Chain A
Amino acid sequence: MTADLAAVLFVAAALVAVGAFIAAWRRDLTVALAGIPLMFAGAGTAFAGVSRFAAAPAGGAQLLGQEVAVLLSVAALAAVVLGLGLAGREGRR
């Protein structure tokens, strides 16, 4: 059993599509925010896969995809924090 770049990109495509589906399908907008981390995770998976399989094997270029995956994870957390802050907190009236 093995996994190649096409398999990684299929999984990344599935994650992005599921994230878009969550954002479109959920009525509760705070739960619909969960689609953002999934889409970012899909993009990060594609970057990490290209870094693993298709990056030019010279210098530090292989790590660029992993680095972008790290930055995407942090950006997803920031987006969810901002969205939940805009939604507001329950109680304390």
Chain B
Amino acid sequence: MDSLHAIGFYVSAAISVAGGLSVAFLPDRIRPGMALGAVAIGVAGIYLSLSAGFAALVALACYGGCAVLLAGPAYRVVEANIGGIWRQLGAVGAGALLLALAYAAYFGNFGEHSYFGGDFGTAAIGRRLFAHDALATEAVASLVLVALVGAAAAWRARDRSR
């Protein structure tokens, strides 16, 4: 990886991690949604610096869509009925997860190759998605369909009960 891509990678990583921490600590709904938009931009930058241009476009659209949905004022506030000790335990668990993953990343014995994708890769990814791994694509499409139908059904049932 040359210096330009490395700088882009580190800047994008800083944007995405800082955006994630902002989602955790900013109040209200709109500001965490905007922070999630920053995460989307950062993750897209990471993918782009890793020579995954098509994945960057899809990530920008999907994670940006998540940010728009979460920042919208149309959804109800659902407060979790759990005490502070469980939240603190969850935070400690997240820290332990970070330590475990960082340990695996640092001490893992990975064989490295200097592959450079070069071009944008849309056609190659498309061939893999719709020809070589069409079954996985169909599975994710089914998941999306079930999620949309389930969301619509839950929405209608809740409106009917009011």
Contacts and interface: CB of A to CB of B under 8 A. Distances in A.
Nearest to B8: A3
B159 A92 contact: yes
Given A26-B24, A63-B128, A76-B66, A54 B101 contact: no
A59 to B, nearest CB: 10
Given A21-B24, A24-B87, A90-B73, A69 B7 contact: no
Contacts of A87: 75-76, 78
B90 A89 contact: no
Contacts, number: 287
Nearest to B161: A88
Q: How large is the interface on B (under 10, 10 to 19, 20 to 34, 35 or more residues)?
A: 35 or more
Contacts of A15: 16-17, 20, 43
Q: How large is the interface on A (under 10, 10 to 19, 20 to 34, 35 or more residues)?
A: 35 or more
A50 B124 CA distance: 17
A25 B90 contact: yes
A11 B17 contact: yes
A45 B154 contact: no
Given A13-B102, A69-B55, A89-B159, A57 B115 contact: yes
A43 to B, nearest CB: 11
Interface in A1-29: 1-29
Closest 6 CB pairs of A and B: A24-B90, A85-B151, A13-B101, A9-B105, A17-B98, A18-B20
10 contacts: A4-B1, A7-B10, A21-B90, A54-B112, A63-B124, A63-B125, A73-B61, A77-B144, A78-B143, A88-B76
Given A14-B98, A73-B58, A80-B66, 20 more contacts: A2-B3, A10-B102, A11-B9, A14-B20, A17-B95, A20-B97, A28-B78, A31-B29, A34-B70, A44-B59, A48-B50, A66-B54, A67-B133, A70-B125, A70-B129, A73-B55, A79-B147, A84-B151, A85-B155, A89-B158
